[in-house]
Amino acid sequence: MLPTLAPGQTVLVEPEATISEGDVVVLLHPTRPDFVLIKRVQSSTSEGLWVVGDNPSESTDSRDFGRIQPHRVLGRVVCHFR
């Protein structure tokens, strides 16, 4: 599957949004806090968010670093520009 967003593409983020399964979110990498990721929320539990890339064979996501704590989410992507 191809990614929804292309490298360098501009996105509009709602920082205070309620996050649901299927949402695309901007988040801080769990081990590299200076690195920002954009991933899709696959599930949400009390342990945190399970996030995946839209192109699994090329993605670094929860399969590599586990669940993301909600405080690492910077916001939900509400619009993207080509």
The pLDDT score that the predictor gives to residue 8 is 84
Q: Does residue 34 fall inside a structural domain? A: yes
Q: Does residue 62 fall inside a structural domain? A: yes
The pLDDT score that the predictor gives to residue 1 is 55
The pLDDT score that the predictor gives to residue 37 is 94
- On the CB side of 79, CA atoms within 13 Å amount to 3
The pLDDT score that the predictor gives to residue 2 is 66
The pLDDT score that the predictor gives to residue 79 is 92
Q: Tell me the average pLDDT across 48-61.
A: 93
Q: Does residue 58 fall inside a structural domain? A: yes
Place of tokens 């360098």: 8
Quote the pTM value. Answer: 0.90
Q: Does residue 4 fall inside a structural domain? A: no
- The 10s digit of each residue's pLDDT in 3-49 is 788 888 899 999 999 999 999 999 999 999 899 999 999 999 999 99
Q: Which domain holds residue 67?
A: 10-81
Q: Does residue 2 fall inside a structural domain? A: no
What is the domain count for the chain?
A: 1
- Read off the tokens for 77: 């992507």
In this structure, the strands spanning 10-14 and 73-81 are antiparallel
Question: In CATH, what number is assigned to the domain containing residue 16?
Answer: 2.10.109.10
